[in-house]
Every structure is written in C-alpha cells, then in structure tokens.
Amino acid sequence: MARKRIIVVVEDEEPIRRGITDALRMAGYDVVEAADGEVGLIEARRAGVDLVLLDLLLPKLNGFDVLAELRVTRPALPVVILTARGSEDDRVRGLRGGADDYVVKPFSARELLARVEAVLRRSPERPAPVVRIVGGDAVVDCARREIRKGENEAVVLSEMEANILERLAAHPGRAVSREELLSCVWGIRDGSVETRAIDMHITRLRQKLAAASDDNVEWIATVRGKGYMIGASLEVKTAEGQA
C-alpha cells in the first residue's frame, strides 16, 4: 500500500489553516500544520514531506525567507505559495524565488486541490522515507532513533546521528559528500561549520553501531575523496517497501 503524501500547511490565520487542512485530509493527504514561519521551516525540512503550502505574511519568519531557506536545504521540495488578491508583485517574487505555483486568496478547496495535484504530478519522484535499517541481528528504528539487537537494551541515537544515517540509507550505492550532509542535515551551506564536524559525528555514530551489533557488519563506508556511503550488506526498509 502506497504511503499517504505529506503536506505541510504554513498559515497563521487559524480558520484558513483549518479549512485547508480539512480539505487536504478529506482528499487523502497527511497534513502537518504550522502557525508561523519558524515552525513551518522546521516541519518542511523533515524527511518525507512531499509539498509545502506557504503563506507569505507570517509571524517570526516571513514566507519569502522560509522559501529561500528551503531552496538551499530542500531544493527539489515543491512549494505552493498562498497570496492575497491583487498582490501581483508578491506572486512574481515568490515564483522567482523558486515557488512551484501559487493560489490567490480567497480560493476554493477544489482549486487548491487541483493546484496541489498538478504540482505533485510534475515533481520528480523522491525516495520513500527510511523506516528501518537491518545489519546482521541489529535493527535501527529510524522513528524511535534507536538501535536494537534481540533482547539487549536499545542504544539511543541523537537526532543528528539518526538524520545522517537516514540520509546515507536513502541513497544506497552512492557516496554522500560532507558538504551534502552539511546542507541537508545541518541546513548549512555558508561554510560556517567545518566539514570536520561531520567526521566527528560519523565517528560517534560508528561507535554506537559497532557496540550494538556484530563486529563484521559495516554500517558506514568511507569513500576516499567523496564522503560516506551506507554499508553494502545492509537492508534498508522504507515506508513503501517494508518486507
């Protein structure tokens, strides 16, 4: 069974947000709500999100800033902006900033769903979220952020460690560069954090994985000059392909 598409609705006016949310859920989508730009950006960056509906006039962080940040860390994530009638300049600015489409307020549920479906149809397929990673007798539960082996006590992963592992597992067979990890996991592309920080996290992550599993399991391989890759012998299970 295919997973439901996840849509983040970033809208500060509660009646509008509730109406959008109800319409999307009735159409079969999973919805995450955010009432301000800061929360919206956090939710939109999470793994598995398929589309963002983004108001422009938001508290804490305006929609243009949210869009700019998303185009750095999630360049392929579809974004549909919600604009007030008559604000042509805002629509143009949003589209130039990387939005995929816009809907002018007030809009009907039918129009909104048609725009959402059209944007999703023309968007490239994205990897399904990683649910579990199996290495020998050990299993990494990505939702719980823990490693389990039989009846042994679970080893807990930090959010950053889990995100790194998920990123590698979502792209098996290719090396993920340190710069890509900085961008997609840390949300940083301005060089303010040295790539050495990645190596330190990888070292700690490897130690936890080794302590909780068999010695002969290679969880993370180093690809000289390119970055890191998920171990070739591991079994990656996604939300759409669990055994």
pLDDT tens track for 199-228: 888 899 999 988 888 768 899 999 988 889
Place of tokens 């949310």: 21
pTM reported for the whole predicted model: 0.54
pLDDT tens track for 85-126: 556 677 777 777 788 888 888 888 988 899 898 888 876 555
Which pair of tokens denotes residue 74?
Answer: 């999630």
Tell me which of 26-30, 133-137, 234-238 is least confident: 234-238
3-state secondary structure of 3: coil
Cis peptide before 75 (omega within 30 of 0): no
Q: Which domains does the chain have, with CATH numbers?
A: 6-122 (3.40.50.2300), 130-238 (1.10.10.10)
Distance between CA 117 and CA 103 in Å, rounded? 13
